[in-house]
Amino acid sequence: MAATPPAHLSPRKRPRQARAAATLDAIFEATIQVLLAEGLHRLTTTRVAERAGVSVGTMYQYFPNKQSLLYALNERYLDIVAEKVEKACRDKHGASTAEMVEALIDAYWRAKTERSDVTRALYRSAVELDNEALIEAFAQRVDAATIAMLSSASDASYVDLALINTTLLTVIFGTVRNVFERNLPTMLEADIRNQLATMCLSYLKAARIPEV
């Protein structure tokens, strides 16, 4: 992710030995686990360290404070999601609009579903975190990828693709989040997913400039 973290959220140093890299992984994993098992308000530096099997002091050698740990965690996660979406977009370059929409929703949905508990935990961990810039960078990255894809569509072109594209992403992101915050039956979730695809597609059809 391009966004440079605000100074007070930047990591203190990067790991130089393999041992340190492993420690960092353990810390991140422990953070997720504590988040899941205890919730954000019981997420303690000590608890995370304990769960990771390291000492608090070790944690503070990499992160200047608790927030920066959560920031880094979100950064990691968003990076992975963005990559998946970008790949999906590249793969559908030049395809039909229907295929594109389906692939986009599929990639994003799948990325969030793979470990839906983690997804939910991270949504919550981000509260009160000064990560607007992070979200913005993520949004713009995905925005660029989908615009590139859509403008290569074999069966349509649009007057105001920028707006259409932003709308599309806002709707998809928001819907996915909303579905996961409530705890809907899996079947209904799947149904909504499909309906969402239908909705996006009919939106694009209504907005396109007919081919000559």
- Structure-token pair, residue 9: 């959220």
> Dihedral sign, CA of 129, 132, 133, 136?
positive
18's contact among a copy of itself, DNA, none, with CB below 5 to 8 A by partner kind, is DNA
Q: How many CB atoms lie within 10 A of CB 203?
A: 15
158's contact among DNA, a copy of itself, none, with CB below 5 to 8 A by partner kind, is none
Q: Select from 6-14, 38-46, 71-79, 92-100 the region that touches a copy of itself (CB under 8 A).
A: 38-46
200's contact among DNA, a copy of itself, none, with CB below 5 to 8 A by partner kind, is a copy of itself
Q: Select from 3-11, 80-88, 110-118, 164-172 the region that touches a copy of itself (CB under 8 A).
A: 164-172
Q: Select from 13-21, 26-34, 142-150, 175-183 the region that touches a copy of itself (CB under 8 A).
A: 175-183
Task: Please name the amino acid found at residue 105.
Answer: I
Q: Is 209 left (phi over 0), alpha (psi -120 to 50) or beta?
A: beta
Binding site for a copy of itself (CB under 8 A): 39-41, 124, 127-128, 132, 135-136, 139, 163-164, 166-167, 170-171, 173-179, 181-183, 188, 191-192, 195-196, 198-200, 202-203, 205-207
